[in-house]
Structure 1
Amino acid sequence: MENIALAEPGAQLSIWALFMQASWVVKLVMIGLLCASVWTWAIIVDKLVAYGRMRLALNRFEQVFWSGQSLEELYRTLADRKTTGMGAIFVAAMREWKKSFEKGAKSPLGLQTRIDKAMDLALTREMEKLEGRLGFLATTGSAAPFIGLFGTVIGIMTSFQAIAGSKNTSLAVVAPGIAEALLATAIGLLAAIPAVIAYNKLSSDASKIAVRMEGFSDEFSAILSRQIDEKVAPKA
């Protein structure tokens, strides 16, 4: 292991100098944590934009849906478009509705079950899109401090080896290695803290959006159930 050479304090304890004089293991730890931090922020920005768009799409769809427009007309408008959120749930339900009546649906219970399953599947797909990559934030938030701590341990070990090699216990010999170790810890926290905060916020936002879509799914299921009773149920 190389001894830590003495240098001017300002240069020796700069972040770049600490990185360059670190052992290859600590360098790998720092680079990995920095990459995780960059990817974390990319996910955060992407999700904030995606959730904002989703809320706008939900608001627009609710406004159109409850405006009194017929279900058939709304379905024709949305059927050939790329829909998200409530629109995707609505299209999935109406598609199953039309397929069933084209084939001569006779069982109200069977038709209602198929429609509910179609909406559940559409809701599941929408939630998978919303929650995608949130697991990375959770993993980074929980693992990054320990990865940084691993780099810290290696840095401290390097300092002790430098002391043993130089037989000098002065602060000038010990300080660079300790600073290198603390830098690894700092980078670990730099990656972990935003990841934890963002994961909690984004998970909460995703849950709120899910509640809105589930509420619409239940309301639309009730609407279709009444229409099924009128069209399929045997008349006395």
Structure 2
Amino acid sequence: MPALPFASVFLAANIVEIFERCGTIDKTIVLGLGVASLFAWTVMFGKYFELKRLRMLNYSFESHLQDQRSLLDLPESFRNKRAIPYADVFADAVEGYWRAAAIEKEQGLSNPRARVEHAENAIQRALSRQTLRYESSMIFLASIVSGAPFVGLLGTVWGVMEAFSSVAGQQSAGITQLAPGVSGAMLATIAGLIVAIPSVFGYNLLLGHTKAMIMELENYSSSLADRIELETH
């Protein structure tokens, strides 16, 4: 058997042995961190592919929209794609504009500037809503990043305390009696770091993508407001 696979098998068996020596609290913490790690990886991969898919849909919709000569008179099919962030902002803007126009018609008024302001307000509301959509699940990852090491440290401190308590009543206590309990306690800190380290890299990567997409959304919203204002005048 090659040296590397043999070392991996030995290390895995050693970790299992150390885990079996852990106390109930440490075992619970290690297993809980394992579940948190599984959720974190699921969220990271899910969020990455979600942002990638939304960016492609946004670019496709914006490209299609740029080919249109007039935005305010486009058919309703353009406003039925709410799952696309850019389309959601566009739909709110156009609906806000025509809603203000309908009210003005009932009152016998004509105020193009007021209609544009209604459209801009609708754009801002949609922008805030889509920003929250982009940032969803990020709080969970941030909590894992900041909380996992402390949870692991708690398990270690608790395990060390139990190890010392178990030998406190013995006549002679040395490293031989302390080592099994302390090594089991240290496993909790290792588990916390194993959870936190990949999560912090994944969180920073996703945060960068999210900020870039929010900036793109803001630029698109500003361009959309300008086009509506130009069409009104």
TM-score, normalised by the number of residues in structure 1: 0.84
Gap runs ≥5 in structure 1: 1-9, 231-236
**Deviations, residues 164-193 of structure 1 (Å, cap 9, x unaligned):** 344454444222212111110011011111
Which shows bigger deviation, 153-162 or 209-218?
153-162
**Taking structure 1 as reference, are residues 222 and 69 closer, same or farther at Cα in structure 2, changes over 3 Å only?**
closer
CA displacement at 1:90 relative to structure 2: 0.7
CA displacement at 1:131 relative to structure 2: 0.6
**Deviations, residues 5-47 of structure 1 (Å, cap 9, x unaligned):** xxxxx89x83233333322221222122122111111110110
How many residues in Structure 1 have an aligned counterpart in Structure 2? Answer: 219
Secondary structure at the residue paired with 1:119?
helix
Whole-Å separation in 1 of the counterparts to 2:53 and 2:70: 25
User: Which residue in 2 is equivalent to 1:143?
Assistant: 147
Whole-Å separation in 2 of the counterparts to 1:107 and 1:168: 92
Secondary structure at the residue paired with 1:68?
coil
Whole-Å separation in 2 of the counterparts to 1:149 and 1:106: 67
2:92 is the alignment partner of 1:79:
no
Whole-Å separation in 2 of the counterparts to 1:58 and 1:101: 28
Post-superposition, which runs of at least 4 consecutive aligned residues in structure 1 deviate over 6 A?
none
Please tell me the residue identity of whatever aligns with 2:142.
Answer: A
User: Which residue in 2 is equivalent to 1:7?
Assistant: none
2:190 is the alignment partner of 1:186:
yes
**Taking structure 1 as reference, are residues 121 and 177 closer, same or farther at Cα in structure 2, changes over 3 Å only?**
same
Structure 2 counterparts to residues 26-105 of structure 1, below 5 A:
26-68=26-68, 70-72=70-72, 74-103=74-103, 104=105
CA displacement at 1:56 relative to structure 2: 0.5
**Deviations, residues 112-140 of structure 1 (Å, cap 9, x unaligned):** 22111111111111111111110111111
Q: Select which of 156, 167, 174 maps to 1:163.
A: 167
TM-score, normalised by the number of residues in structure 2: 0.85
Which shows bigger deviation, 88-97 or 64-73?
64-73
Please tell me the residue identity of whatever aligns with 1:182.
Answer: M
User: Which residue in 2 is equivalent to 1:226?
Assistant: 230
Secondary structure at the residue paired with 1:14?
helix
**Taking structure 1 as reference, are residues 53 and 38 closer, same or farther at Cα in structure 2, changes over 3 Å only?**
same
Whole-Å separation in 1 of the counterparts to 2:178 and 2:74: 72
Secondary structure at the residue paired with 2:110?
coil
Check whether the contact 2:81–2:88 (CA below 8 A) recurs between aligned residues: no
Q: Select which of 178, 183, 188 maps to 1:174.
A: 178
User: Which residue in 2 is equivalent to 1:128?
Assistant: 132
Whole-Å separation in 2 of the counterparts to 1:74 and 1:37: 47
User: Which residue in 2 is equivalent to 1:210?
Assistant: 214
CA displacement at 1:57 relative to structure 2: 0.8
**Deviations, residues 51-75 of structure 1 (Å, cap 9, x unaligned):** 1101101110121111235425644
**Deviations, residues 140-174 of structure 1 (Å, cap 9, x unaligned):** 11121111111111111222223334445444422
